[in-house]
């Protein structure tokens, strides 16, 4: 579904550039590693993940002529990978050990630092207004923070969050795939988002108080 925006006169040039991209083993290796991380988290199976990534890369290389630059190639590879992962997950119908996901005491513990007994924000935990979140998207450093915040999520929370937000499966598809009830899924996504937003706020959006 990604648009190919090559103007006819530029086709030769774009093809040259993508050929050189493909010859750029450093770039390909970084891309491969990123995709592998993504796929491994999604599938929780290194072998399946490796296969899916290989197939996505091969699929993209086959169409190498259509890419005008790194960003375009990456978008395309991710689109292929995303579909592959969605297919694998749909077929696999894995079950997450539901009892390990939702321990009530763990749930309370999670929230006790954020909310008081009446369920209102603790004094120092009110979410702040994030200044210009769209500007963060252009900062290389921001993405390092984002990745590390994602990695700090409990594995199952990270997985359903990524299925929802990266692979863009809907709630029903995720529940079917991992054998969760809708209620459990909502709880997990809620927890994942509470943690993520807290992490991003502490480490990025409010971390820039000191001059750079």
For the bound state, the minimum distance from the C-beta of residue 181 to another protein, rounded and expressed in Å, comes to: 13
Q: Is 51 or 142 the residue whose CB approaches another protein more closely? A: 142
Of the candidates 159, 150, 146, 148, which has an alpha carbon nearest to the alpha carbon of residue 45? Answer: 159
For the bound state, the minimum distance from the C-beta of residue 187 to another protein, rounded and expressed in Å, comes to: 8
Tokens of 197: 């937003």
115 DSSP β-pair partners: 121
For the bound state, the minimum distance from the C-beta of residue 108 to another protein, rounded and expressed in Å, comes to: 11
Binding region for another protein (CB under 8 A): 30-31, 34, 69-71, 74-75, 78, 82, 111, 114-115, 118-121, 125-130, 133-134, 136-138, 140, 142-143, 146-147, 164-166, 170-171, 185-187, 189-190, 193-194, 196-197, 200-201
Q: Is 140 or 211 the residue whose CB approaches another protein more closely? A: 140
Q: Is 45 or 79 the residue whose CB approaches another protein more closely? A: 79
**Alpha-carbon dihedral sign for residues 43, 89, 58, 78:** negative
Which alpha helices (DSSP H) does 93-119 contain, by range?
98-101, 104-112
Distance CA 177, CA 94 (A): 6
Q: Is 205 or 211 the residue whose CB approaches another protein more closely? A: 205
Angle at alpha carbon of residue 196, lines to 141 and 152, rounded to 5°: 80
């Amino acid at each position: 579904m990604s648009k190919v925006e090559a103007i006819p006169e530029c086709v030769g040039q774009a093809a040259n550039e993508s050929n050189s991209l493909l010859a750029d083993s450093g770039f390909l290796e970084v891309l491969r590693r990123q995709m592998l991380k993504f796929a491994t988290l999604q599938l929780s199976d290194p072998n399946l993940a490796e296969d899916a990534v290989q197939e996505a890369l091969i699929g993209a290389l086959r169409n190498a002529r259509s890419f005008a630059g790194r960003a375009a190639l990456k978008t395309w590879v991710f689109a292929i990978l995303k579909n592959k992962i969605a297919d694998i997950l749909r077929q696999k119908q894995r079950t997450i050990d539901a009892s390990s996901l939702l321990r009530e005491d763990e749930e309370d513990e999670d929230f006790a630092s954020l909310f008081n007994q009446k369920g209102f924000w603790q004094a120092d935990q009110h979410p702040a207004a994030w200044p210009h979140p769209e500007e963060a998207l252009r900062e290389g450093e921001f993405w390092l923070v984002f990745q590390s915040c994602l990695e700090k999520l409990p594995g199952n929370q990270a997985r359903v969050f990524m299925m929802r937000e990266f692979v863009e499966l809907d709630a029903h598809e995720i529940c079917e795939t991992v054998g969760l009830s809708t209620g459990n899924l909502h709880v997990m996504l809620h927890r994942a988002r509470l943690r993520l937003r807290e992490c991003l706020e502490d480490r990025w959006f409010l971390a820039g108080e000191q001059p750079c």
